[in-house]
Every structure is written in structure tokens, then in C-alpha cells.
Structure 1
């Protein structure tokens, strides 16, 4: 895969789907309002689309990697059917204190560390200066910042305005983020 260097790296829970804590079943997925138009517009504009998600539920023994992969295949198929195919998915099953067995470790991929972002930059030949990340938590944006991603936005549906906080942008909706990216029609 080659792109023009622009990428959009998204957190999953709270950005793509409503966060219900440890989502691992298709029947529990509710997509966040505006995700399909945003991803469709970004894909049409030449952005590589990637997901980077902490999934400590795997390490905690709440669900398996196979269950995660099954769910992600379904989500990717939903995105593709909407004209927004996802180019890569990165996940961290580890947790430094709450995980079991080999999953209990302090790794470089668990956000706020930048490991998943750096892998996406390498795999997709992204230019961090032209790329964006969207998360619903400060650790998502801190990971993007540590990887050099220039444009970082936290979605906060309780907010009413676009503003800066802690060196990152905050927006109340994915539609507003789509406008910020210059992708609104």
C-alpha cells in the first residue's frame, strides 16, 4: 500500500463505536454518529486510515485475541461497505499491572506510548506532519504527539465548541472534526 503520506489514525472505542467497556461482540456495536461520512471523506481525499486501540480486555482474560479479530473483521467490513476501507489495525493487549501471564507487561505499544502510531507511520509510509489522529482520551493524543502526529483532536460530545486544551484540539463531534480537516462538503 502506498499513500500520499497523509494518514488518519483513530482510536476505536469512543471514536468509531460507542465505548461500552471491553467491547468484543458484534451485537454490542453502536457506531458513533458521523464516523462513516468522516472516513469516507478522508478516504476519498487520499488519507490512509488506521485504527490504534488499547485492548487490555484481552490481557485481563475478558475476551480472546480471536474474538477481537472477529469483531474487527466485521467492523472493517462495515467500513468498506460504506466506502471507507480501513488500511491497518493495531492493538495492544497488554497492561502493566492488571493483565494475566505474558500480557502483563509495560510495553511500547500501550497508549500513551507511541508504538502503534510509529508502526502505522512505517507500515503505511505516513508523513506525521500531514497526518491526523482522533481519540476520546488524552492518552490517545499524547501517543500521537509522541509519534510526531501534527494534528491531534479529542472528541468530546459533552462540549459545544472547538478549542485547544493541553496542546491538542478538542471538538464536540466527528462532523466538526471533518470540517477541521477540510473534508466537509
Structure 2
């Protein structure tokens, strides 16, 4: 049986976006991220992080440094009772000076490649899934992939583009009631 997922962008949703965060000393978790992800798991969602990481292509940090940071992040979630089903990342950016990563990619949001790959790997039901992001490109990727509920985190609630988002919230704590208030027919609450 296909499972619903809670897809999370990383910078600006999982952690405060300090700009090209590539090491644990610059990684600061967002308030309420663990409450949100635990609630999602309790509701039967698999939690998946979907992140553009052009900092690799731009040479701000190496892919190895990113992978080490990701392993640390996964351990931090696990220590708080949250199992991440997967972390998918796109290291590519056409303008990056690191030749190996200087190209376009179907995985780079707003393209839906990472979401579609996660669905393939984990047998996810995208129509019953949720994507939480802080950029219009997150919402565009989620819509293109067929994610049923798209939530844009915008602290000022003045998003320039909301037509691809179903909800706009100011902070993560506002998502927990949305999750718990969904009709059982939307998420299925089982996996």
C-alpha cells in the first residue's frame, strides 16, 4: 500500500536559512520542526527532506561535507524520535564553478525530479502527501509532482506567489493543526 509523505524543504523549513549552510556549526533547527515531524509520523506520514544544494556546485562546501552534515542532521532527528525516510538533494547549478556539478538537472526545484524519485523509492502516494517549503520553487515542484497539499512558510504571510500553495503559514507550529485536522480520506492515516 502506498504511503503518504511529509516532504520538507531543508533551508528555511528544517533549519534557519543562514545562506549556504554546509556545516553543523551553522545549522540551527527551526522552532517546532520536531513537533511537526513527530505529529506527521504519528499520522502515518513518511518524512522526506527534498533540498536544492547549489552550494556544492558553487564550491561553498563539498559534497562530502554536505553528506556529513546530512548524517549529523539525520542523527539529530533520530535522537528526538523522528526517522527520516530519506534526504534527497540536488547539487547541480548551471552557473556553478565546480565543473562536475555545473549543469541543469531535472532534480533541481522547481522541477519535480527529487519528489518523483522519492515516490518511486518509497512507494509514496503523492496525491495524499504534503510538501512544506519556504520558496515558490518548492510549491512549483510539489504541484508539478502532483503533491496534494502544498504549504508555504512565509513569516510575513505576504508571499508574492501563492497560487501553487494551498496554505500559507507564518511558522511551522501552524502546520500541526492542519495535519491533525485533515480528513481521514486525505492522508489515509495508515501505511
The reply on whether 1:167 has 2:164 as its aligned counterpart is yes
Q: Which of 50, 53, 60 is the aligned partner of 2:51?
A: 53
Contact 2:139/2:164 (CA < 8 Å) preserved in 1?
no
Q: 1:33 to 1:183 in 2, by over 3 A?
A: farther
Matched residue, 2:96: 98
The superposition leaves residues 73-110 of structure 1 with CA deviations (integer Å, 9 ceiling, x where unpaired) of 11111111111111101000001223421211111000
Q: Which of 149, 153, 156 is the aligned partner of 1:155?
A: 153
- State the distance in 2 between where 1:181 and 1:99 align: 41
Matched residue, 1:5: 3
Contact 2:50/2:114 (CA < 8 Å) preserved in 1?
yes
Give structure 2 stretches of 5+ with no counterpart. 183-191
My pick for the range that moved more, 92-101 or 120-129, is 92-101
- State the distance in 2 between where 1:150 and 1:47 align: 13
Matched residue, 1:72: 70
Normalised TM-score (structure 2): 0.89
Normalised TM-score (structure 1): 0.92
- State the distance in 1 between where 2:79 and 2:97 align: 35
Give structure 1 stretches of 5+ with no counterpart. none
Moved over 6 A (4+): none
- State the distance in 2 between where 1:81 and 1:142 align: 32
**Helix, strand or coil for the counterpart of 2:84?**
coil
Deviation at 1:167, TM superposition (A): 3.2
Q: 1:104 to 1:173 in 2, by over 3 A?
A: same
